Amino acid sequence: MALRNKLHSLPKADVHNHFHLSGAVELLKEHYPDVQFETPGSFDGFDGMMHFIIQHVNALMQSSDDVIMLMDIGIRSSINDNVKHLEASVDLGLKKYFDNSLEALINAVGQLKEKYKTEIDFRPEIGIKKSSELDEVYRDGIVCIESEVFTGIDLYGEESYQDLSGFKEIFQEARARSKKTKVHIGEFSDAQSIVDAIETLGPDEIQHGIRAADSEETIQLILDRKIRLNICPHSNVALKAVSSLKEHPMRKLYDEGVIITINTDDHLLFNSTITDQFEDLIQQGMFTFEEIDEIRKNAIQGF
């Protein structure tokens, strides 16, 4: 308990977070007491997770009010874990709950940013699925980039055998306006896919990227480009991308000098805070407290 209290008291950052999936289950049940929502503990990979989202999370979202509530719960869950800096992606597809009004979605996110500005440094990111129509991505993405609300862009979805060249232009537009750029790659896909994503999109940071550990060349490219890997250990285990924390390649990446952070990914799905993960990694002998503190600072420094 002393270790947990010490870890909880540390100011933290969560920089790999899907906003409407980021709330704690207990807070969800406070607002939806009639909903039977139980996380399964593990999923049958990425497809299994998506099936759970469609069946259990999307069923909660009947209106824009529900989406706003899920996002609000996400911020409060972060605050409860003493997260001081939050970078969370807002899926562009959520506009369908706002009568397909992108402006209404942007306004809702901006209002949440204003509501909690004294409690947390919240920096919303534009969340884009790799399966999205490119014309719509560019049209909506530009509107979000030009708004005063979003500070970054995050591309996610299926990793293997994906042609990312269609997203190159929107990444260039984001960089031109000093927005942070991120891409999900290398959780289920191989090290070469990480290289391809870096060379195609030139991201500032990679979400997951754990398969870089399989290739010294990929590690060197990450080091040369000074790219940070935003890793979600409990998520990786729950999705069976790795068999256990003990087998997680983040230790090798850390030892090779790669800058890593520890994040929640989807708190609602994996029922795990950053404090939970810090504690487990220390107790299982993966990292010392001093190393975890360094990793914590990797995420929160400069803010």
Q: Which amino acid would we find at residue 90?
A: V
| Triad 146, 152, 158: Cα angle to 5° | 120
The residue from 87, 125, 187, 205 that is catalytic is 187
Per-residue DSSP letter, 273:
-
Helix%, strand%, coil% for the chain, nearest 5: 55, 15, 30
CA distance 235 to 55: 19
Pairing between β-strand 260-262 and β-strand 228-231 as defined by DSSP bridges: parallel
DSSP per-residue letters across 9-33: HS-EEEEEEEGGG-S-HHHHHHH-T
Residue 187 falls in the annotated catalytic set: yes
Are 144 and 126 in contact by the 8 Å Cβ rule? The answer is yes
Strand segments, DSSP code E, in 19-160 are 83-91, 121-129, 152-156
The catalytic residue positions are: 187
